[in-house]
Amino acid sequence: MKNIQFPLHQTKVDGVKQKFVLTDPKDRKKYFQAKAGFEIERIKTYLKNGTFVAYLLGKKNAGKGTYAKMFMEIFGQEKLAHISVGDIVRDVHAMIEESGISKLKEYLNDNYRGYIPLNEAIDALLGRSTTNLLPTEFILTLIKWEVDKHAGKSVFLDGFPRNLNQVAYSLFFRDLINHRNDPDFFILIDVPMAVIDERIKTRVICPICQTPRALKLNTTPEVGYDKEKKDFYLKCDNPDCKLARMVGKEGDELGIEPIRERLEADENLIERAFGLYGVPKVFLRNAIPVEKAKEIADDYEITPEYVYHYDAKTEKVTTGQQSYTIKDDRGIDSYSLLPAAVVLSMIRQIGEILG
């Protein structure tokens, strides 16, 4: 962020000397317990009877889904839901195209309120209208429809508000979805453009759980080697996916250039939310200045550049590391934090809000 300064949060804890492998789910669990055990118990106690609504605001590819899923890894999917507005719109689009509007029609008729007729809103969703954009009121109805599927769960809402005009709606969203007077808060994520660029260029996604990783910056415990293509690939570390091969997406080699305008719009949205009054905020900062690193973070919390070696004799892949330094958006030499270190800060701040 060029125009606003996110606070630095110390992840180094006096007395915790053990080094953890933060790409290993079992070691991550020990890491979170060692460094945020009190806050974890506080949140677990709250979740026994309470729920919350959290708005994830970050630039595209800032890691919103990764952070939410890692949080859910600690507290369980039976208590939490990660709802992506983009996924909802795509799923509804496919549902209408495949089986018509019948499955949704009754719900939409009962819940949609807006300035354009429902049929025109659906046409906008399907791209059949050249005059109407997808109205916020229709998006809100779709979100409510999805939230209703997760009754009794706390919600991480990813992709809303999507623009400056939707910020006002988000201030009263918990009331619209009947979440009583449960806490709601914004999770604002600051990731330098240089990190996002590298993430996109080396990004891979699990075809089963859709979890993203980056071959260069966010590896998994097991890595494979494609002899024909002479390429390395990551194997998903979600136990349910049984080491599924993670795959890249066409066009990612271009990095941030195709989405630069979108990233700048996202940044404006975060700056707008930064100045809101009356709503608690969680500040997640991906990058820390090199000169401050030893003071506030442990070495294993800092993102290395991962390098791989394939041994033809044993047919095994070994993973190595080397230093990775970037310029943040203010031009300061910085290190990028691994996702678990960012989520550690997230746990502590949410614990304070719910406590």
Taking only the tens place, the pLDDT of each residue in 321-335 is 999 999 999 999 999
Higher per-residue confidence, 96 vs 84? 84
Cα dihedral sign for 210, 213, 214, 219?
negative
> Which pLDDT belongs to residue 133?
63
Q: Where are the domains of the chain?
A: 25-74+150-354, 84-149
Model confidence at 5, in pLDDT bands (50, 70, 90)?
confident
pLDDT at 173: 72
In tens, the pLDDT along 247-283 reads 998 899 999 999 999 999 999 999 988 888 888 999 9
Q: Which residues, listed in sequence order, are joined to residue 247 by a DSSP beta bridge?
A: 205
Nearest to 347 by CA among 213, 218, 155, 187: 187
Query: Which residues have a Cβ under 8 Å from the Cβ of 353 and sit 6 or more positions away?
Result: 52, 183, 185, 280, 282
pLDDT at 128 over 70: no
Averaged pLDDT for residues 11-33: 94
Q: In which band, very low, low, confident or very high, does the pLDDT at 318 lie, cut at 50, 70 and 90? A: very high
Candidate CATH numbers 3.30.1490, 1.10.238, 3.30.1370, 3.40.50; the one for domain 25-74+150-354: 3.40.50
Q: Which residues pair with 212 in a beta bridge?
A: 205
| Residue 113 pLDDT level (bands cut at 50, 70, 90) | confident
Helix and strand counts by DSSP (H, E) for the chain = 12, 14
For residues 194 and 136, the model is more confident at: 194
- Kindly state the percentage of the chain with pLDDT values over 70: 94
What is the pLDDT at residue 109? 84
Using alpha carbons, select from 97, 146, 141 the residue that is nearest to residue 116.
141
| pTM for this predicted structure | 0.85
In whole angstroms, give the CA distance from residue 59 to residue 197: 11
Task: Select the highest-mean-pLDDT range: 151-160, 170-179, 334-343.
Answer: 334-343
Residue 91: the pLDDT is 83
Which pair of structure tokens corresponds to residue 263? Answer: 């990233």
Q: How confident is the model at residue 177 (pLDDT cuts 50, 70, 90)?
A: low
